[in-house]
Structure 1
Amino acid sequence: MSTSASLFTRVLACAASALVVAGVAACAPPENKDSGGQTQSGGKASEATSAQDFGGMDALIEAAKGEGTLNVIALPPDWANYGAIIKAFSDKYGIKVTSAQPDASSQDEINAANQQKGRSSAPDVFDLGQSVALANTAMFAPYKVATFDDIPAAFKDPNGTWVNDYGGYMSIGFDSAKVPPVTNVNDLLKPEYRGKVALNGDPTQAGAAFSGVLMVALSQGGSADDIAPGVEFFRKLKQAGNFLPVDPTPATIESGQTPVVIDWNYTNSSETKKLPSWTVFVPPNNAVAGYYYQAINKDAPHPAAARLWQEFLYSDEGQNLFAQGGVRPVRADSMAAKGTLDKAVAAALPVVDGPVTVPTPQQTEAASKYLSENWAAAVG
């Protein structure tokens, strides 16, 4: 689906997409002893669908502090400002946050929850992309945060089974001290970029990579209904010796190992603070946008802490922290109307004037199937 939009809000009001980087814990820790606690009303914390089920926000905070721990997964500190968000939550409530392997795929989050079900180290919450999230809603616990009504209907399940949290644009980041300026996707096929172009992840598992291939497909005459031209482009990129099969990280960027990276604009933009020569380019004629999906693991070992985490993320404080990471918080419009959105931060958020593509769930499913059947052969 394509739509014309001059503001990011209009762009992402259509649909949500993308996958997120995640991780799996490697060992089998002790079985979970924390879940199943009761609320003040006598119900199970794991079944609470709002703070009111605990007896109000103060009671939820008390229950979460009693658990004392929150397990998150797939949250790199430089991704959407999650490092600062985790610290702020922990400092505010005195709850220890255990962040498992931040550098993997969305599917790995789900795998970790299945592998560690019933154990105290299982993830309490998820931050997922569209494809993986919608394929695993049976694993989520419905919950409505206090600000639920502020979130547009297009960005949430009516029962709170999942809620979009933040969004961004697909981009090309490059080190202007090491490569010529990138002015369009086709530049990447030039000899000057030999062995220098990296994609953030495997598009069959990670949404940043999926959206990167979609962006490239658009530049080659494809669409959200036809991602094949994107796969063909990467085949050519591999044949030219330009495709670099390295999963980029801040370390690989700063060392010069991955001087060109196809990734979300906010992830690429975070590198400009450390590497002044790092430049971020969002192709104006091939723009791809998407939101991520936030959800609670129905088998969360710390169900109260999981719910308090959601309350924090969707509070004014949490949403402004997201905005500081260069992403568009889902409550941005409502907060702006109420005067609670940090104006300086909001003014710095990227805006793309022109056509922007946001794939529907059906388009994402079809494209994912094509990638699973053709990606490995193209770049292998």
Structure 2
Amino acid sequence: MTSTARFSRRTGLKAAGLSAVMALIVPLAAACGSTGAGETDPSAIGSTIEEIAANAKEEGQVRLIAYPETWANYAGHFAGFEEKYGVDVVVDSPDASSAEELQAVQNLKGQDTQPDVLDIGYSFTNTAINQGLIEPYKPTTFEDIPDNLKDPEGNWVGAYYGVITIGVNKDLVDNIPTTFEDLKKPEYAGKIALPGDPRQGASSIGTVFAASLANGGSLDDIQPGIDYFAELKELGNLTTVSDAASGMTTGEAAIIFDWNYNWLGRAEQLKADGVDFEYVTLEDGVFGNYYAQPVTAGSPQPNAARLWVDWLTSDEGAEQYALGGAIPARFTQLVEEGKLSDKALASLPDPEVVAKVELPTPEQGDAANKVIAAEWAKKVG
């Protein structure tokens, strides 16, 4: 694996400026005005998964962006994929935000360094389609993936999802909060942080959605979540961190929101760093969503790109996700068929929490993005 310049998946396009971010996040009115990344010659792609695998081995590598090793156990995915197929995994900007991923496809189209496959928040999928940045591919497990975790035309599949939780440095707080209401208490002054800017990253959008659900909002109404964080800032309880993991280690914040699988992936390192650490799901705001793995239009390694998506949605890929605390898209089927190990099942959120998760649609994500773009800066900053 190689890695280029590192950006946080949650901090975003600081150098590019707000106008570039808005161009990415707010869907275009019509796809005809977009500048796509080109199209793949169908004759270059194998007609069966066996042919795709053979062609991918000849291509030699799959090029990814925004796939951190500790995120949803991608380190395990990389090792398993390379061992099974003899195809190298190359990761550029492993911590890039979803907005940065789309910008990278725009900037690198037609070049050898163009990403083959993305890992973007659900609320960025329509933008990717409208901008002509991705092309359809239905993996061999497509029919087994629930309808709310795939585009019907195969433009993307959501291979996994997670739940918003809080990571807590127990050395810096006397009491672990259990609700969003608890976080308003004076004892948490200057100790609470989002994982980044909700105008740019899906984990931060998910955090605002969770706060909305805890304060009378819904998947169709994210405004109460924005208002909640505006109040938290006014109370003096909200701070910022450049990165969730380092923020926890250095004490920039004592309570930081992020996906459950991210905290699981960091737990060993945090323990090694001497952090007395725990992560919990707040009782009054259970929110989960998926990340989508679309093939980019005109990808340099079109067979390896498709093989990677097949791997992520396979039984083996599902096991790797579950070992990292991420709920595989085919979770219900795999449990019924006894295909997930006991260790993998033990790594997942409590079944009662999973049962509460209602996954938002891309359209609900589009609507939320527009409200955040209009309201976040003036209310939260």
TM-score bracket for the superposition, by shorter chain length: 0.7 to 0.9
Q: Which residue pairs with 2:246 in the alignment?
A: 251
Sequence identity (%):
37
Q: Which residue pairs with 1:59 in the alignment?
A: 51
Contact preservation (8 Å) 2:219, 2:360? yes
Q: Is residue 166 of structure 1 aligned with residue 160 of structure 2?
A: yes
2:54 maps to a residue whose letter is: E
| Larger CA deviation: 299-308 vs 228-237 | 228-237
1:345 maps to a residue whose letter is: A
**Normalised TM-score (structure 2):** 0.82
Structure 1 Cα separation of the partners of residues 216 and 140 of structure 2: 44
Deviations 1:53-77 (A, max 9, x none): 1xx3333222112111211111111
Tell me the secondary structure at the aligned position of residue 358 of structure 1. coil
| Correspondent of 1:269 among 249, 264, 267 | 264
Relative to 1, partners in 2 of residues 1:150 and 1:218: Cα closer, same or farther, differing over 3 Å? closer
Q: Which residue pairs with 1:322 in the alignment?
A: 321
Structure 1 Cα separation of the partners of residues 201 and 39 of structure 2: 32
- Kindly report which structure 2 residues correspond to 1:54-203, keeping only aligned pairs within 5 A, or say none: 56-137=48-129, 138-179=132-173, 180-203=175-198
Residue 22 (structure 1) shift = 9.3
Deviations 1:265-319 (A, max 9, x none): 1112333333352211212232112122111001211111111111211221111
Note the residue ranges of structure 1 that are not aligned, 5 or more in a row.
Answer: 1-19, 27-34
Structure 2 Cα separation of the partners of residues 229 and 247 of structure 1: 25
2:248 maps to a residue whose letter is: I
Structure 1 Cα separation of the partners of residues 114 and 102 of structure 2: 10
| Larger CA deviation: 349-358 vs 188-197 | 349-358
Relative to 1, partners in 2 of residues 1:228 and 1:154: Cα closer, same or farther, differing over 3 Å? closer
Contact preservation (8 Å) 1:271, 1:278? no
| Larger CA deviation: 285-294 vs 83-92 | 83-92
**Normalised TM-score (structure 1):** 0.82
Relative to 1, partners in 2 of residues 1:295 and 1:155: Cα closer, same or farther, differing over 3 Å? same
Q: Which residue pairs with 2:368 in the alignment?
A: 367
Relative to 1, partners in 2 of residues 1:151 and 1:76: Cα closer, same or farther, differing over 3 Å? same
Q: Which residue pairs with 1:11 in the alignment?
A: none
Deviations 1:210-232 (A, max 9, x none): 11011112222222233222212
| Larger CA deviation: 126-135 vs 271-280 | 271-280
- Kindly report which structure 2 residues correspond to 1:277-296, keeping only aligned pairs within 5 A, or say none: 277-296=276-295
Q: Which residue pairs with 2:348 in the alignment?
A: 349
Contact preservation (8 Å) 1:286, 1:355? no
Residue 373 (structure 1) shift = 0.8
Residue 91 (structure 1) shift = 3.2
Contact preservation (8 Å) 1:173, 1:279? yes
Relative to 1, partners in 2 of residues 1:198 and 1:98: Cα closer, same or farther, differing over 3 Å? same
Tell me the secondary structure at the aligned position of residue 118 of structure 2. strand
Contact preservation (8 Å) 1:80, 1:266? yes
Structure 1 Cα separation of the partners of residues 140 and 236 of structure 2: 52
Q: Is residue 229 of structure 1 aligned with residue 230 of structure 2?
A: no
Contact preservation (8 Å) 2:106, 2:133? no
Relative to 1, partners in 2 of residues 1:58 and 1:361: Cα closer, same or farther, differing over 3 Å? closer
Residue 110 (structure 1) shift = 0.7
Structure 1 Cα separation of the partners of residues 204 and 40 of structure 2: 39
Residue 184 (structure 1) shift = 1.3
Tell me the secondary structure at the aligned position of residue 119 of structure 2. strand
Tell me the secondary structure at the aligned position of residue 136 of structure 1. helix
Residue 155 (structure 1) shift = 2.0
Structure 2 Cα separation of the partners of residues 36 and 232 of structure 1: 43
Relative to 1, partners in 2 of residues 1:298 and 1:362: Cα closer, same or farther, differing over 3 Å? closer
Note the residue ranges of structure 2 that are not aligned, 5 or more in a row.
Answer: 1-8, 16-37
Structure 2 Cα separation of the partners of residues 36 and 242 of structure 1: 49
Structure 2 Cα separation of the partners of residues 150 and 308 of structure 1: 17
